[in-house]
Amino acid sequence: MKTFRWSFFVVVVLLLAAAVWSAWSPSRPQVVSSSPSTRSEVVEPLREAKSNEQRLSETTGVLSQAKTKPAVGIPSKRAARVGAQWLYDVSISRTLTLGADSEKQGDITLNVAGLLNLTVANVEEGMIHLHAVMDNVRFGGESSGGTQADPDVIRALEKAIEVPFFVTIDTTGRVEAVHFRTGTDEMARGLLKSVVTTGQMVLPTAAGISSWEVEETDSTGDYRARYQVDADGKRLQKTKLSYVRLATAAGLVDSGAGVMRMDTITFRGMYEPRSDGWPETINESEELTLASSSKLPALKTRGQARWSLVSTGNNPALVDTFQREWSLLETAELAKIEGVTATDKQHDLALVGGEPLAVMLGSLAALPADETADAERAGLMVRASAALRLEPKEATRVGAEIRNNAAAPHVGTLLGALGGANTPEAQQTLADLLKDTNLPAQVRADAAAHLGQSTLTDKAHVETLWDGVQDPDLDVHSQSLLALGASAQGLKTEHPEVAKSVTEKLMEYFATATTDEDRVLTLQALGNTGDAAMVPTLESAIVWPNEVVRAAAVMAFRFVQHPAAEPWITTVMVHDESNLVQKAAMAAGIFRPFSAMAMALEAVLKQDPAADVRHAALQTLAAQLPNAVVVLPAITWVAENDADEEIRLAAAQILEGAAGL
């Protein structure tokens, strides 16, 4: 039986598959729209926690709740007596496949099981800090070719997983943060975060609520979830509605931003809460497909999770340990790919494997240009990004390679490596390539796109992008304009005044634009900023005579955290005279709480004269399944009453497929 060293099997294969999109950008990146309402970390215990009532007013808390029928036996909060202890038998399995079913590159399966002991260490307003430790850990990793992990490496990882850590949840059960002792193995961190987030059973905030939506976080990213009380009033069903943001090596990015998007989500969770609010059992099954707008292969994950309560008890020895050990802990981001961060030298070294950058560049140049080499090309790109982080000055070598081979098929991969490196030197190289008018316009446009997707460290690059906006070439002009909005998002932390000025200048640019094409591009760029200050501009654009401008305006609302966003989206969805704009509103509504969109979608289904618009609304509703109580009555109405036979048939087929829900 073949064995492998853990660093190369997981860091180079498993994490490589998850990190590919964070470093790659296609020749025509999609619009990047970033929401400012990402989950805040719990950074000071006993000081900065927020109450449930405060969280209800935030988009990262409970999004909606419905009292459509009484829920029996479902508590509204978890018991939080210090010292209380719950012991669970936990098993998790995940299989990753790179490539579609017809062209998959092989499967990688990871399994972890053991006994998870959770003890309430400290309690504060709205927060429960749990001491957590896994015992009797059993880990396994295997590829479809039969290659298994090195036994010595497995034993070392199992030992690392058994190191105690802490989990912070709110009183409804939503995981807020995970805290590890300094020096905890990064792969162990990643696996433990996956274990903890599968145990996320979020209760309603009051009695008598039968369904509710929340935003949660797991190792894949931030997602919207709907809970539904089962018919017996004793169990909960959970569905993931959509991923709002996805985890990459560079951090969280909005789903659909740049090259990566969540293509399919199939998730079914069943939870049996006890009277104390803690789960008796958890059963989850999930299948996700991450797709790329470039020619990179898809990444599919299939997972199962099982929790079963073994015993309860009391351990006074662990009371107050969270506060006592706080100075020894590091708070980990829930949605972060451990082991491939831009500042992690250890894993960059593992990715590079001692191979010089020059050899990687030669290998890239030698690859065939067709899609048969896509997987190898993607791997070399990620490894080249790691090499550029280890030796930042080598960015000039890559710039020279691009200039000397500007028409070669691997130039796009080289630009992706620079973008993935995300170092000041790589950004400067991209800026220089954008300014080099001797290069083909396509290369300069792609350089602008990658520069915009980087976390800019030099304010001068903003001016370089503005210069690109003035370029006579349409591609360079367009990509520079879109990149400006994306750059504003990255500048918010270090240079908030520059980010604000980008939004203001884009609003001025829209006001002075002379063509609808430029107005559309500017609206897309404004959407990239994620800045609520643009709402007045969007409100003027959403009533523009040109339907394409209106469609761009309503799409730009999808991530804006402003009271006007949802009313505008629903109003346009129901009342705009253009089918194109109505469909754009439906697409924007996917990223908003479903409860805010439900009435508008039902109105379109029952009243809109255009069959294609009603069909789009039907598909949008069907995507919410298996939220049967909320969705099925409207779909049933369509199956029985719609004037179009094809739509009635489509609704009937949806109902047939949902018969087991």
| Arithmetic mean of pLDDT, 525-533 | 86
Region of poorest pLDDT, from 118-127, 258-267, 367-376, 385-394: 258-267
Mean pLDDT of 579-584: 94
284: which 2 tokens?
Answer: 């989850």
Question: Is 294 within 8 Å of 26 (Cβ atoms)?
Answer: yes
Confirm whether 113 is domain-assigned.
yes
Percent of the chain with pLDDT over 90: 43
Domain containing 110 — which CATH number?
A: 2.30.230.10
Q: How confident is the model at residue 600, as a pLDDT?
A: 94
Q: What is the mean pLDDT of the chain?
A: 80
Q: Which of 147-161, 196-210, 403-417 has the lowest mean pLDDT?
A: 147-161
pLDDT, mean of residues 572-587: 94
Work out the average pLDDT over 300-304: 88
Is 272 a domain residue? yes
Mean pLDDT of all residues in 405-431: 92
Lowest mean pLDDT among 69-78, 155-164, 512-521, 570-579: 69-78
Is 10's pLDDT higher than 60?
Answer: no
- The residue among 5 and 661 whose pLDDT is bigger is 661
Question: 45-70 pLDDT, tens per residue?
Answer: 333 333 333 333 332 334 444 433 33
What pLDDT score does 625 carry? 63
pLDDT at 350: 66
pLDDT at position 15, please? 42
Is the pLDDT assigned to residue 467 strictly greater than 80?
yes
Contact 449, 482 (CB under 8 A): yes
CB contact at 8 A, 626 and 208: no
Predicted confidence (pLDDT) at residue 430 exceeds the cutoff of 60: yes
- Domain residue limits at 232: 63-332
3-state SS, one letter per residue, for 448-476: HHHHHHCCCCCCHHHHHHHHHHCCCCHHH
Confidence check: pLDDT of 341 > 60? no
Please, which residues bridge with residue 291 across strands? Answer: 261
How far is it, in rounded angstroms, from Cα 87 to Cα 130? 12
Residues 582, 586, 587: CA angle, nearest 5 degrees: 115
Q: What per-residue confidence (pLDDT) applies to 262? A: 76
Max mean pLDDT range (63-67, 76-80, 327-331, 528-532): 76-80
Q: Of residues 25 and 241, which shows the higher confidence score?
A: 241
pLDDT at res. 38 = 32
Q: How far is CA 509 from the centre of its chain?
A: 31
pLDDT at 589 > cutoff 90:
no
Q: Lowest mean pLDDT: which of 19-33, 202-216, 218-232, 488-502?
A: 19-33
Please determine, for residue 191, whether its predicted confidence score (pLDDT) is greater than 60.
yes
Q: What is the pTM of this model?
A: 0.54
Mean pLDDT of 289-314: 78
d(CA 189, CA 340): 13
Question: Is the pLDDT at 75 greater than 80, yes or no?
Answer: yes
Share of the chain above pLDDT 70, in %: 79
- Read off the pLDDT of each residue in 168-179 and give the average, rounded to a whole number: 91
Out of 106-115, 142-151, 340-349, pick the least confident.
340-349
Number of domains in the chain: 1
Residue 516 confidence (pLDDT) above 70: yes
Averaged pLDDT, 564-579: 95
- Dist. CA 596–CA 480, nearest whole Å: 34
As a whole number, mean pLDDT of residues 383-400 equals: 93
**pLDDT at 417 > cutoff 70:** yes
Whether the pLDDT of residue 562 is over 60: the answer is: yes
Instruction: Indicate whether 205 belongs to any domain.
Output: yes
Of 19-33, 422-436, 620-634, 641-655, the range with the lowest mean pLDDT is 19-33
Q: What 3-state class would DSSP assign to 121?
A: strand
Classify residue 543: in a domain, yes or no. Answer: no
Give pLDDT, residue 88: 95
Mean pLDDT of all residues in 314-321: 84
Residue with the bigger pLDDT between 436 and 288: it is 436
pLDDT at 237 over 50: yes
Rg (CA), the chain: 25
Q: Is 306 part of any domain?
A: yes
CA–CA dist 288, 305 (Å, integer): 14
Closest listed residue to residue 519, CA positions, set 486, 557, 481 = 481
Once rounded to an integer, what is the mean pLDDT over residues 242-266?
69
Q: Which of 248-252, 555-559, 588-592, 638-642 has the lowest mean pLDDT?
A: 248-252
Q: What is the mean pLDDT of residues 262-284?
A: 90
pLDDT at 207 over 80: no
Higher confidence at residue 364 or residue 323?
Answer: 364
pLDDT bucket at 182, cuts 50 / 70 / 90: confident
Residue 490 predicted with pLDDT over 90: no
* Residue 185 placed within a domain: yes
Q: Has residue 585 been placed in a domain?
A: no
Whether the predicted pLDDT of 389 surpasses 70: yes
| pLDDT for 29 | 32
Q: Is 209 exposed, middle or buried (0-12, 13-18, 19+ CB in 10 A)?
A: buried
Higher pLDDT, 326 or 90: 90
CB 472 within 8 A of CB 439: no
Going by pLDDT thresholds of 50, 70 and 90, the confidence category of residue 465 is very high
Spell out the residues 6+ positions from residue 168 whose beta carbon is closer than 8 angstroms to its own.
Answer: 42, 45, 127, 128, 129, 130, 175, 176, 177, 178, 179
> Which range (198-202, 244-248, 337-341, 393-397) has the least confidence?
337-341
Judge whether 353 lies within some domain: no
Residue 515 has pLDDT above 80, yes or no: yes
